[in-house]
Copies of this chain bind each other. A is one copy, B any other.
Amino acid sequence: MENQHRKPLNRSEGHGGRTANAYALADQIGFLLRQANQRHVAIFTSRMNEKLTTTQWAALVKLRDLQPCSQVNLGRETAMDVATIKGVVDRLAKRNLVRTAPDPADARRLVLTLTDEGEAAVDRNLSVAHDISEETLAALSPAERAMLGELLRKIS
């Protein structure tokens, strides 16, 4: 039934010299970013073990490098909003991958560290994570991968 009975009408043709054809969804950077991200997440979900999500993994890996670390700082380092990192940390703590404790020096703060299970989960999955990035970028040459990284950093 799709479009079978009705010819598409470019309603804004003639308006201000810019036709509707000038704006194609498939060419918009937002659309391209969303699609690329979705495919990456799908690859991640299908290959990562222990039902870890992309953001849970990011939090674990970053915490391993920064620990001990405050929750707000971990959120900053992993590009997550304060409400988002709260939820991610809660779920990781619930799975006993992360330990939380009050900061003796500053009662406002929550101090995060990886548990032994958390450290082990990171160790076990580093090569998997590497393979995930590899699969996401499989269609690109090494030079193209470097270029993509540079261009994405430029627009972030």
Contacts and interface: CB of A to CB of B under 8 A. Distances in A.
Interface of A: 1-3, 5-6, 8, 11-12, 15-16, 18, 20, 22-23, 25, 27-41, 44, 54, 58, 61-62, 64-70, 73, 77-79, 103, 105-106, 109, 111, 119, 122-123, 126-127, 129-130, 132-133, 136-137, 139-140, 144-145, 147-149, 151-156
Given A33-B36, A148-B148, 8 more contacts: A1-B68, A1-B106, A11-B64, A12-B126, A30-B41, A30-B133, A32-B149, A36-B152
A54 to B, nearest CB: 5
B126 A154 contact: no
B155 A23 contact: no
Contacts of A2: 66, 69-70, 73
